[in-house]
Structure 1
Amino acid sequence: MTHPTLAAGQVERHLRARRDTGRRLLMPYVTGGITPGWTDYLKAFAAAGADAIEVGLPFSDPTLDGVTIQQAGDTALARGANTRRILADLSEVRDLGVPLVVSTYYNLVLHDGPEAFCAALRRAGAGGLIVPDLPVHEADELVDAAAAAGIEPALLASPATPQPRLAEIASRSRGFIYAVSLMGTTGERAALAASAAGLTERIRHVTDRPVLLGFGISTPDQAREAGRYADGVVVGAAVMRRVLDGAGPEDLRAFVATLRQALDQE
């Protein structure tokens, strides 16, 4: 049964429509299965003004994740979280009004095969997919499988990505471009990386697809600054640190609301 949260293929249309009103986009992240009743965080994010929500499928060897997201993944795995259980939980979520974007490593995609994996995402109500360890020159099989299932794969671009490859990433991505603000892992930072502005400018030379900036955006002030360059921000470690410290859905609603307010002031 098709999930009512979002029809197939509409992540990009949703984000573009909001961006085109002048709104800066906000995508908070949560590790699936991190707590009992973890999907209540999704409802809190939507209530706080998120424009999309990233749901991470925990993996035992998360090469691009920093300490906080690694700890969150370990906690979820210790609770018995796995892809099927997380997607089953997602399938019970209704009427968020914003797209769900699943993120994970390619090993988990290969476990069932790209076709079956993407079909399972769609049945669970997800509209987008991020696979950070999949380079664009190896992405054809997954991109084709995703298209067949109505899933929009967003590829990553970093400050070190050469311009010709950046154009290829922009061409192959759907939904949005995930701009990695710095060379390194996820995690909270004291300041927005200086490389963020240049990267987003280079992406804009090759596409008008929405650009979301992630890695290291931790505070409302950093979100506001990032919103001067990109169409929106992804906030993960700052959210998950609060969850690991015991914050409940209402606490996270309040935090995400401060990010929303900061972006709206830009």
Structure 2
Amino acid sequence: MSGNRGLLESRLAEAASENRAALVAYLPGGFPTVDGGIEAVKAAVAGGADVIEVGLPHSDPVLDGPVIQTADDIALRGGLKIADIMRTVRETHEATGAPILVMTYWNPVDRYGVERFTAELAEAGGAGCILPDLPVQESGLWREHAEKHGLATVFVVAPSSKDARLATITAAGSGFVYASSLMGVTGTRESVGEQAQDLVRRTRATTDLPVCVGIGVSTAEHARQVAGFADGVIVGSAFVKLMLDAPDEAAGLALSLIHI
């Protein structure tokens, strides 16, 4: 294990040794403000999150539903820059000791520069990146620099992924595999379907990496269901909605802490 990717791998292995699924919390960077986003991550770890995903807000988020789009818009209108994401990673990792990943679409990384982005993320203490829209066959440059700096590369698999495609994706990834519970964008759902369990089964047949399930995990019952068959449970929109609906920033942080 190298860099903070090793911390991520150790934290997931620790959860497995305790016979439980890891809790992975997603929070958009810069929401509701940069400082507020940093405090939200700290609250999430204090509330029991094992791993944190800090989202890099994007103006055209193809995977994100209305809740996260709203939070992203608030962050972008506040003038969020990639430097603020790096600051968020640095300060939250130093404060909590938790593995912090960045979840980002490819365009901002490409424009910023792959070498620059990976070097700065590693220097900030980041554990890696989740890249939902980067095709594996076009990921060589990213993976080269990520490996150089000890960063995990987490790819997303979906129920529509064929077994051969799953094997290709998992062979290229590291850290863990992000399994989408359903087809569609992030957001709250009434249920987490059986296709999520089938996807985990098929993914595990191709890799020894932990498989964590997200997208649509929006209630405690959903989380319990997913924890019964996955290595990790990823929750994002449910936490963000609590913060959006809160009367002020302090109340939103308190609600997120209580509900984790």
Local SS of the residue matching 2:5: coil
Q: Say if 2:245 and 2:252, in contact at 8 Å, map to a contact too.
A: no
Q: Say if 2:3 and 2:151, in contact at 8 Å, map to a contact too.
A: no
Structure 2 partner of 1:202: 202
Q: Say if 1:115 and 1:149, in contact at 8 Å, map to a contact too.
A: no
Give the Cα–Cα distance (whole angstroms) in 1 for the partners of residues 175 and 88 of structure 2: 23
Tell me how far 1:173 sits from its aligned partner.
1.0
Give the Cα–Cα distance (whole angstroms) in 2 for the partners of residues 192 and 200 of structure 1: 13
Residues 114-263 of structure 1 correspond to what in structure 2 (within 5 A)? 114-246=114-246, 247-256=251-260
Structure 2 partner of 1:67: 66
Give the Cα–Cα distance (whole angstroms) in 1 for the partners of residues 201 and 111 of structure 2: 37
Residues 98-113 of structure 1 correspond to what in structure 2 (within 5 A)? 98-113=98-113
Give the Cα–Cα distance (whole angstroms) in 2 for the partners of residues 87 and 218 of structure 1: 28
Structure 2 partner of 1:92: 91
Q: Say if 2:4 and 2:99, in contact at 8 Å, map to a contact too.
A: no
Structure 2 partner of 1:19: 16
Aligned residue pairs total 251
Structure 1 partner of 2:5: 9
When the two chains are superposed, the root-mean-square deviation of aligned CA atoms in Å is: 1.4
Structure 1 partner of 2:45: 46
Query: Which shows bigger deviation, 135-144 or 82-91?
Result: 82-91
Q: Say if 1:65 and 1:186, in contact at 8 Å, map to a contact too.
A: yes
Local SS of the residue matching 2:53: strand
- Return 5+ residue gaps in structure 2 as ranges: none
Give the Cα–Cα distance (whole angstroms) in 2 for the partners of residues 178 and 195 of structure 1: 14
Q: Say if 2:159 and 2:195, in contact at 8 Å, map to a contact too.
A: yes
Amino-acid identity (%): 39
State the one-letter code of the partner of 2:16.
R
Tell me how far 1:82 sits from its aligned partner.
1.6
Tell me how far 1:91 sits from its aligned partner.
2.2
Q: Deviations over 1:210-256 (max 9, x none)?
A: 11000000000000001112111110111111111124222111111
Give the Cα–Cα distance (whole angstroms) in 1 for the partners of residues 30 and 78 of structure 2: 7
Give the Cα–Cα distance (whole angstroms) in 2 for the partners of residues 40 and 248 of structure 1: 11
Give the Cα–Cα distance (whole angstroms) in 1 for the partners of residues 147 and 206 of structure 2: 22
Tell me how far 1:124 sits from its aligned partner.
1.8
Tell me how far 1:45 sits from its aligned partner.
1.0
Give the Cα–Cα distance (whole angstroms) in 2 for the partners of residues 9 and 68 of structure 1: 29
Tell me how far 1:14 sits from its aligned partner.
2.3
State the one-letter code of the partner of 1:30.
L
Give the Cα–Cα distance (whole angstroms) in 2 for the partners of residues 185 and 218 of structure 1: 13
Give the Cα–Cα distance (whole angstroms) in 1 for the partners of residues 139 and 16 of structure 2: 27
Tell me how far 1:108 sits from its aligned partner.
0.8
Tell me how far 1:24 sits from its aligned partner.
1.1
State the one-letter code of the partner of 1:242.
L
Superposition TM-score, scaled by structure 1 size: 0.90
Local SS of the residue matching 1:212: strand
Moved over 3 A (4+): none
Q: Say if 2:106 and 2:131, in contact at 8 Å, map to a contact too.
A: yes
- Return 5+ residue gaps in structure 1 as ranges: 1-5, 257-266
Structure number having the greater helix percentage:
2
Local SS of the residue matching 2:174: coil
Local SS of the residue matching 1:26: strand
